[in-house]
Amino acid sequence: MITTRPSSRPSVRFLAVLGATALAFAVAACGSDSAGSGDGSGLPPGDFVLVADNVAWDADEIAAPADEDFVIVIDNQDAGVQHNLTIEETDFTTELVAGVSAQVLTVNLPAGEYDYICDLHPNMVGTLTAS
Protein backbone atom coordinates (compact mmCIF):
# COMPACT_ATOMS: atom_id res chain seq x y z
CA MET A 1 0.00 0.00 0.00
CA ILE A 2 1.26 3.40 -0.96
CA THR A 3 0.43 6.31 1.29
CA THR A 4 0.94 9.95 0.47
CA ARG A 5 1.59 12.82 2.77
CA PRO A 6 0.92 16.46 2.08
CA SER A 7 4.07 18.18 0.94
CA SER A 8 5.66 20.63 3.33
CA ARG A 9 6.80 22.70 0.33
CA PRO A 10 4.50 25.49 -0.89
CA SER A 11 3.06 25.09 -4.36
CA VAL A 12 4.46 26.97 -7.32
CA ARG A 13 1.12 28.74 -7.81
CA PHE A 14 1.13 29.92 -4.18
CA LEU A 15 4.67 31.28 -4.52
CA ALA A 16 3.76 33.11 -7.74
CA VAL A 17 0.75 34.76 -6.11
CA LEU A 18 2.77 35.62 -3.01
CA GLY A 19 5.54 37.14 -5.12
CA ALA A 20 3.12 39.22 -7.21
CA THR A 21 1.36 40.47 -4.08
CA ALA A 22 4.65 41.43 -2.42
CA LEU A 23 5.72 43.29 -5.57
CA ALA A 24 2.43 45.20 -5.70
CA PHE A 25 2.81 46.25 -2.07
CA ALA A 26 6.43 47.27 -2.61
CA VAL A 27 5.53 49.42 -5.60
CA ALA A 28 2.59 51.01 -3.77
CA ALA A 29 4.73 51.74 -0.72
CA CYS A 30 7.49 53.45 -2.67
CA GLY A 31 7.14 57.18 -2.66
CA SER A 32 9.36 60.17 -3.17
CA ASP A 33 9.40 63.69 -4.48
CA SER A 34 10.47 62.42 -7.85
CA ALA A 35 8.30 62.10 -10.88
CA GLY A 36 8.90 59.53 -13.51
CA SER A 37 7.36 57.69 -16.34
CA GLY A 38 5.58 54.59 -15.18
CA ASP A 39 4.97 55.97 -11.68
CA GLY A 40 1.22 56.03 -12.26
CA SER A 41 0.91 59.77 -11.63
CA GLY A 42 0.49 60.74 -15.27
CA LEU A 43 3.12 63.43 -14.75
CA PRO A 44 6.09 63.89 -17.07
CA PRO A 45 9.41 62.50 -15.81
CA GLY A 46 11.50 64.74 -13.58
CA ASP A 47 13.80 64.92 -10.59
CA PHE A 48 11.45 66.88 -8.32
CA VAL A 49 7.70 67.53 -8.32
CA LEU A 50 6.55 70.93 -7.07
CA VAL A 51 2.79 70.91 -6.48
CA ALA A 52 0.62 74.03 -6.61
CA ASP A 53 -2.54 73.42 -4.60
CA ASN A 54 -4.87 75.94 -2.93
CA VAL A 55 -2.65 78.74 -4.30
CA ALA A 56 0.37 77.46 -2.38
CA TRP A 57 3.46 75.40 -3.17
CA ASP A 58 3.75 72.10 -1.32
CA ALA A 59 7.48 72.70 -0.73
CA ASP A 60 9.32 75.83 0.26
CA GLU A 61 12.74 74.29 -0.40
CA ILE A 62 14.17 72.40 -3.35
CA ALA A 63 17.65 70.84 -3.46
CA ALA A 64 19.36 70.46 -6.82
CA PRO A 65 22.81 69.43 -7.96
CA ALA A 66 25.03 72.36 -8.96
CA ASP A 67 26.22 72.59 -12.56
CA GLU A 68 24.02 69.68 -13.71
CA ASP A 69 20.68 69.49 -15.47
CA PHE A 70 17.85 69.09 -12.96
CA VAL A 71 14.20 68.70 -13.98
CA ILE A 72 11.40 70.24 -11.93
CA VAL A 73 7.85 69.15 -12.73
CA ILE A 74 5.28 71.80 -11.82
CA ASP A 75 2.04 69.99 -10.96
CA ASN A 76 -0.72 72.62 -10.93
CA GLN A 77 -3.67 71.09 -9.06
CA ASP A 78 -5.64 74.36 -8.89
CA ALA A 79 -8.37 73.88 -11.48
CA GLY A 80 -8.74 77.00 -13.63
CA VAL A 81 -6.02 78.92 -11.76
CA GLN A 82 -2.89 80.05 -13.59
CA HIS A 83 0.51 79.31 -12.09
CA ASN A 84 4.08 79.38 -13.30
CA LEU A 85 7.51 78.89 -11.79
CA THR A 86 10.19 81.56 -12.04
CA ILE A 87 13.63 81.17 -10.52
CA GLU A 88 14.49 84.76 -9.73
CA GLU A 89 17.64 86.39 -11.07
CA THR A 90 17.91 83.66 -13.72
CA ASP A 91 16.36 83.03 -17.13
CA PHE A 92 14.56 79.91 -15.86
CA THR A 93 10.78 80.31 -16.00
CA THR A 94 7.67 78.57 -17.26
CA GLU A 95 4.56 80.00 -18.91
CA LEU A 96 1.47 80.91 -16.92
CA VAL A 97 -0.83 77.92 -17.39
CA ALA A 98 -4.23 77.21 -15.86
CA GLY A 99 -4.62 73.99 -13.90
CA VAL A 100 -5.10 71.18 -13.69
CA SER A 101 -1.87 70.87 -15.68
CA ALA A 102 1.81 69.96 -15.55
CA GLN A 103 4.88 71.72 -16.88
CA VAL A 104 8.55 70.80 -16.97
CA LEU A 105 11.44 73.15 -16.23
CA THR A 106 15.01 71.99 -16.77
CA VAL A 107 17.52 74.03 -14.78
CA ASN A 108 21.28 74.04 -14.57
CA LEU A 109 22.63 76.45 -11.97
CA PRO A 110 25.95 77.11 -10.29
CA ALA A 111 26.15 76.47 -6.56
CA GLY A 112 24.08 78.90 -4.53
CA GLU A 113 20.62 79.74 -3.23
CA TYR A 114 17.91 80.96 -5.56
CA ASP A 115 14.41 82.19 -4.75
CA TYR A 116 11.52 80.78 -6.76
CA ILE A 117 8.03 82.23 -7.13
CA CYS A 118 4.77 82.05 -9.02
CA ASP A 119 4.59 85.40 -10.83
CA LEU A 120 0.83 85.83 -10.16
CA HIS A 121 0.87 84.77 -6.51
CA PRO A 122 3.58 86.43 -4.40
CA ASN A 123 2.80 84.15 -1.44
CA MET A 124 3.99 81.15 -3.54
CA VAL A 125 7.72 81.40 -2.83
CA GLY A 126 10.56 79.11 -1.90
CA THR A 127 14.29 78.56 -2.12
CA LEU A 128 16.18 76.33 -4.52
CA THR A 129 19.62 75.36 -3.23
CA ALA A 130 22.10 74.12 -5.80
CA SER A 131 25.08 72.34 -4.28
Q: Measured at the alpha carbon of residue 14, what is the angle toward residues 11 and 15, in degrees to the nearest 5?
A: 90
Residue 56's SS3 state is: coil
Residues 6+ apart with CB under 8 A from 19: none
Q: pTM score > 0.85 for this model?
A: no
* pLDDT digits (tens), the chain, 131 positions: 443 344 444 443 433 333 433 333 333 333 334 444 446 678 999 999 999 999 999 999 999 999 999 999 999 999 999 999 999 999 999 999 999 999 999 999 999 999 999 999 999 999 999 99
- Say what the pLDDT of residue 39 is: 64
Q: Which domains does the chain have, with CATH numbers?
A: 48-130 (2.60.40.420)
